[in-house]
Structure 1
Amino acid sequence: MRNKSLLLLPITAALPLMMGAEGDGCAAGSKSPAPDVRGTWGITYDDVIGVEVKIGGAVYNAELGAAGGQVTINHQGKPYTFGLDCSRPEIVCPSEAWPSKVLIEQRDVNHQHQMIVNLPSASCSGELMKPAPGTCGIGTSNPNCDLVCNSDVTVKTRETFGVIGEAGESFRLYLGAGIVTNGINCALLGYSLADADLVTVGDKGEDWEATEMNGGLVTIGYAGACVFVGQMDGTTQAALVGAELKFTTGFTGVKQ
């Protein structure tokens, strides 16, 4: 992969993050009809990845090419370089988290708004443990103080849960569910999602079918230390505690 390096500017002078659909994920328990999304979908991505870095209360934005690359920020007089390297086995890039071809299922006839997709997901190679004091709770990437992985995170395929909105006009897929990062390993942060609007044909009922996805947006998040490029000393690690990187890319989809 050819790396592309960028210097990030503070948010007041930065490029805006890409905007996309915001799926309605609140209809998981609904028993109302939902459009038929079952089948194989072809996904087409934008040629840019939006980057947002949060570190020490400051926010920096930029864009990368679709292949990823490196971004550098100058925070409190010190440079920090982060890399989105899709070749790393533990890293799931946006186009891998929501691949170019996906098979979607709706298994529960009584809850048609629930959808299942087999996608790459994190798996802990060690043990799940309680997070260290002060590293979880409100204002952190682990607000519910879920168990964290104490070792490396590997990527395996697993069933991923999604929800079609009550109106049948959008969906939300939860990419970041599962393993919680310990701040160093590369588990996806909990807000990692895929959202899109749905284009449908037919009337609400048995012949209601989704045929296209428009305005889609994949959002994946990582702890800053996980994607830091360079030597990690005590000072650097302390600065990166709580730091987050968010990567976003737009997409559209067509049922095949």
Structure 2
Amino acid sequence: MRFSLRFVASLLCLGTIPVLTGAKGDGCAAGSKSPAPDVAGDWAVTYEDEIGVEVKIGGAVYTSKIGVQGGEVTIDHEGKPLKFDLDCSRPEIVCPAEAWPEEVAIEQKNTEYEHQMIVHLPKQSCSGTMRAAKPEECGANTINPDCEDVCDGEITVTDQEAFGVIGEEGDSFRLYLGGGIASNGVNCALLGWSVADADLVTEGEGTETWVANDMKNGVVTVAYAGGCLWVANVDADPDLEAAVLGASVTFTVGFTSARAE
């Protein structure tokens, strides 16, 4: 599935994307013709040891941590335990370290728009039916705030081009990780605020040899609908189930990166 530059750039530029810690990349320079540092080439990524977890159910927010390879987190919501499992072995799940792997190759193909960058990453697509979001299931305070088309079917993952933007000042980037499709609350389509952000450490600014050699304060953010990761309790009541299906589970992990030798 391919999307227009204007569509992806508008998502990258959203100031409302919740980045919990670390860098907040400037994704608004996709159409800029000003110079940008050279980021093309191979990069080696080093991750922090833990993944931060944020679960939102209605107006309640719960936080926890799990190992970098994923795992289970249990919260107590209104006196009832709820368990969510980030199982990285599931083929439709893109875990943080998969969304931005330990080795990445970046390209800057468009010589007119140097701020645009392309990375080959695991990307999701819908193998079922796409439909327009219903008014009552999208908008502010939902898992589909921009009322994107909903995938009513299975999610598949293949290696595709992901689009990113180097900030206007050349000191940060934002990479959009989602597939531009919304979850139906049960399947595992990445939610729209799934991004990778980092600050860029550069040298030679103002010259033709302006180059980025390091990334710091990096954060990968991947988010799913609660129903995707919910380890269901057979005794759960319908109201609780409805709340879980409208919940979001966001995972963040910090990283740094340097050019691969």
| Aligned residue in 2 for 1:239 | 243
| Aligned residue in 1 for 2:11 | none
8 A contact 1:35–1:204 mirrored in 2: no
**How much identity, in percent, do the aligned residues show?**
59
8 A contact 1:18–1:249 mirrored in 2: no
Cα distance between partner residues in 1 of 2:143 and 2:207: 40
Q: TM-score, normalising length from structure 1?
A: 0.90
From 59, 63, 66, the counterpart of 2:65: 63
Residue 177 of structure 1: how far off its partner (Å): 3.8
Cα distance between partner residues in 1 of 2:21 and 2:231: 28
CA root-mean-square deviation: 1.5
Cα deviations across residues 21-43 of structure 1 (Å, max 9, x unaligned)?
A: 11111111110000000001111
Structure 2 SS opposite 1:158: strand
Do structure 1's residue 45 and structure 2's residue 47 form an aligned pair? yes
8 A contact 2:37–2:205 mirrored in 1: no
Residue 162 of structure 1: how far off its partner (Å): 0.5
Between 31-40 and 125-134, report the one with greater CA deviation. 125-134
Q: Which amino acid aligns with 1:145?
A: C
| Aligned residue in 1 for 2:139 | 137
Do structure 1's residue 125 and structure 2's residue 132 form an aligned pair? no
Cα distance between partner residues in 1 of 2:50 and 2:24: 19
Q: TM-score, normalising length from structure 2?
A: 0.88
Cα distance between partner residues in 2 of 1:136 and 1:99: 31
| Aligned residue in 2 for 1:248 | 252
From 178, 181, 184, the counterpart of 1:179: 181
Do structure 1's residue 105 and structure 2's residue 107 form an aligned pair? yes
Residue 230 of structure 1: how far off its partner (Å): 2.5
Residue 133 of structure 1: how far off its partner (Å): 4.1
Residue 235 of structure 1: how far off its partner (Å): 3.9
| Aligned residue in 1 for 2:118 | 116
Residue 187 of structure 1: how far off its partner (Å): 0.6
| Aligned residue in 2 for 1:82 | 84
Cα distance between partner residues in 2 of 1:71 and 1:78: 14
Over 6 Å off, 4+ runs = none
Between 243-252 and 152-161, report the one with greater CA deviation. 152-161
Between 243-252 and 168-177, report the one with greater CA deviation. 168-177
| Aligned residue in 1 for 2:198 | 196
Residue 94 of structure 1: how far off its partner (Å): 0.3
| Aligned residue in 2 for 1:10 | none
Residue 231 of structure 1: how far off its partner (Å): 4.5
Residue 140 of structure 1: how far off its partner (Å): 1.4
Paired residues in the alignment total 240
| Aligned residue in 2 for 1:162 | 164
Cα distance between partner residues in 2 of 1:196 and 1:25: 11
Cα distance between partner residues in 1 of 2:189 and 2:207: 39
Cα distance between partner residues in 1 of 2:206 and 2:100: 27
Q: Which amino acid aligns with 2:259?
A: K
Between 233-242 and 145-154, report the one with greater CA deviation. 233-242
Cα distance between partner residues in 1 of 2:247 and 2:183: 12
8 A contact 2:127–2:154 mirrored in 1: yes
Unpaired runs of at least 5, structure 1 = 1-16
| Aligned residue in 2 for 1:4 | none
| Aligned residue in 2 for 1:14 | none
Cα distance between partner residues in 1 of 2:132 and 2:159: 25
Cα distance between partner residues in 2 of 1:55 and 1:190: 17
Do structure 1's residue 25 and structure 2's residue 27 form an aligned pair? yes
